[in-house]
Amino acid sequence: MSTENNDKLIKDLLARVEALEEQMPEDRLALGVMSGDLDKTIAAFIIALGAAAYDMEVDIFFTFWGLSALRDPKKRAKKDMLGKMFGIMLPNGAAKLPLSKMQMMGMGPKMIKMIMKKHGAKSIEELIEDAGKYGIRIHVCTMAMDLMGIKKEELIDYPNMQFVGVGTFVDIFSKAKQCWFL
C-alpha cells in the first residue's frame, strides 16, 4: 500500500473511533426508585454505595411511591386538599416505609430493622446520609411531586438534590452503563 492510501485509512479509522467513543456507555449506574418499599429502597442505596466505592458515578431517580423515602417528618408544607390527603396516606419519611413482603401490619419492618441493627448494618437514614457524602446524586421526579402534591419544603436535606422531568432522566440513563428500577 502507498502512504496516501494509509492516510485515507487512518482518517477513516479516526472518525470511526471517535464515533465509538461517543457511543460508549459511561461508567455510571442509574437507579430508579419507584416502589417506596423499605427493602427495595435499602437495596438501592446499598448497591449505589457499592458502585460508588468502585468509582462509578451514581444517579438515583425517585418517582411515584419512591418519593416517600425522601420526606422529612419534621418538615411541613402548605398543601391543597388532595395534597393533604396524599400527605396522610403516604409514608412520612424513610423510617415509615413498608416492606414489599411480610409487612404484617408493621411488625415486618420493625423486625427487619431490629435484625439489621443487631448485625451492625446501617439504617436507611444512615445509608441516605452516606450516599450524600459519597456524591451520589438524587433526582426527584417533578411530575410525581405534582401528582402527589409533595413539596420541596417537606423533603430531607440532601446535597444538591435535583428536581427533574422525564427528559433529564432519559438523558441520564441513556448514558449509563447500567440502569434499573427497584
Residue ranges that bind its own copies, judged by CB under 8 A = 1-3, 6-7, 9-10, 13-14, 16-17, 20-21, 23-25, 27, 29, 32, 34-36, 39-40, 43, 46-47, 50-51, 53-54, 56, 63-65, 82, 89, 100-102, 112, 115-116, 118-119, 121, 143, 146-148, 166-167, 169-171, 173-174, 176-182
Identity at 141, one-letter amino acid code: C
* Helix 124-133, helix 38-53: angle, nearest 10: 30
Residue 103: CB minimum distance to its own copies, A: 11
Beta carbon nearer to its own copies, 47 or 161: 47
Residue 35 grid cell: 416502589
Distances 66 to 15, 52, 90, 91, 164 between C-alpha atoms, Å: 43, 21, 10, 10, 15
Can you tell me the distance from the alpha carbon of 91 to that of 62, in angstroms, rounded to the nearest whole number? 15
Closest to its own copies by CB, 95 vs 112, is 112
**For its own copies, the closer CB: 73 or 82:** 82
Contact (Cβ atoms closer than 8 angstroms) between residue 41 and residue 122: no
Q: How far is the CB of 26 from its own copies (least distance, A)?
A: 9
Name the minimum Å distance from CB 9 to its own copies: 5
Report in angstroms how near the CB of residue 125 gets to its own copies at its nearest. Answer: 18
Q: Residue 56 burial by CB count (10 A; 0-12/13-18/19+): exposed, middle or buried?
A: middle
Cβ-proximal residues to 9 (8 Å cutoff; 6+ apart), any chain = none
Beta carbon nearer to its own copies, 17 or 159 = 17
- Nearest distance from C-beta of residue 72 to its own copies, angstroms: 21
Q: How far is CA 110 from CA 1, 123, 163, 175, in A?
A: 74, 12, 31, 38
Q: Which is closer to its own copies, CB of 91 or CB of 157? A: 91
Question: Which residue, 145 or 155, is less far from its own copies as judged by CB?
Answer: 145
Least separation in angstroms between residue 139's CB and its own copies is 13
